[in-house]
Amino acid sequence: MTIHDSILETIGNTPLVRLSRLHAPGNLVAKLESTNPGGSVKERIAVAMIDQAEADGLLKPGGTIVEPTSGNTGVGLALVGAVRGYRVICTVPDKVSKEKQDLLRAYGVEVVETPTTGPDHPDSYYAAASRLAEEIDGAFQPNQYFNMSNPKAHFQSTGPEIWQQTDGAVDVYVAGVGTGGTISGAARYLKMQRPDIEIVGADPEGSIYTQGPHGDLHQYFVEGVGEDFYPETVDLDIIDRFIEVNDHESFAMCRRLAREEGVLTGGSGGMAVQAALQVAAEETDKLVVVLVPDSGRGYLSKVFNDEWLEEHGFDV
| Confidence at 123, pLDDT banded by 50, 70, 90 | confident
Residue 29: closest CA among 21, 19, 39: 19
Buried b (16+ CB within 10 A) or exposed e, 57-86: eebeeebbbbbbbbbbbbbbbbbbbbebeb
Give the three-class secondary structure for 62.
coil
| Confidence at 225, pLDDT banded by 50, 70, 90 | very high
Residues 147-179 pLDDT 10s: 999 999 999 999 999 999 999 999 999 999 999
Model pLDDT, residue 186: 98
Model pLDDT, residue 96: 87
| Confidence at 182, pLDDT banded by 50, 70, 90 | very high
Q: What is the dihedral of CA 119, 122, 126, 132, to 10 degrees?
A: 170
pLDDT exceeds 90 at position 97: no
Percent of the chain exceeding pLDDT 90 equals 92
Model pLDDT, residue 233: 98
- Domains of the chain (ranges plus CATH)? 7-35+158-311 (3.40.50.1100), 42-140 (3.40.50.1100)
Model pLDDT, residue 256: 98
Respond yes or no: is residue 42 known to be catalytic.
Answer: yes
Give the three-class secondary structure for 139.
strand
Model pLDDT, residue 95: 85
Q: What is the mean predicted confidence (pLDDT) over 113-125?
A: 86
**Mean pLDDT across the chain, nearest whole number?**
96
Higher-confidence position of 120 and 54: 54
Q: What is the mean predicted confidence (pLDDT) over 188-207?
A: 98
pLDDT exceeds 90 at position 90: yes
Which positions ≥6 away from 115 have C-beta within 8 Å? 93, 94, 121, 123, 124
pTM attached to this predicted model: 0.95
| Confidence at 1, pLDDT banded by 50, 70, 90 | confident
Q: Which of 42, 100, 152, 302 is catalytic?
A: 42
pLDDT exceeds 80 at position 316: no
Q: What is the mean predicted confidence (pLDDT) over 186-210?
A: 98
| Confidence at 44, pLDDT banded by 50, 70, 90 | very high
Of the given ranges (91-100, 129-138, 240-249, 259-268), which has the lowest mean pLDDT? 91-100
Percent of the chain exceeding pLDDT 70 equals 100
| Confidence at 122, pLDDT banded by 50, 70, 90 | confident
Question: CA–CA separation, 146 vs 49, rounded Å?
Answer: 11
Beta strands in 3-59 (DSSP E): 16-18, 28-32
34-39 CB contacts, 8 Å cutoff, 24+ apart: 34/264, 34/265, 34/292, 34/294, 34/295, 36/10, 36/11, 36/12, 37/7, 37/10, 37/11, 37/79, 38/72, 38/75, 38/76, 38/78, 38/79, 38/107, 39/72, 39/75, 39/294, 39/295, 39/297, 39/298
Question: CA–CA separation, 183 vs 237, rounded Å?
Answer: 12
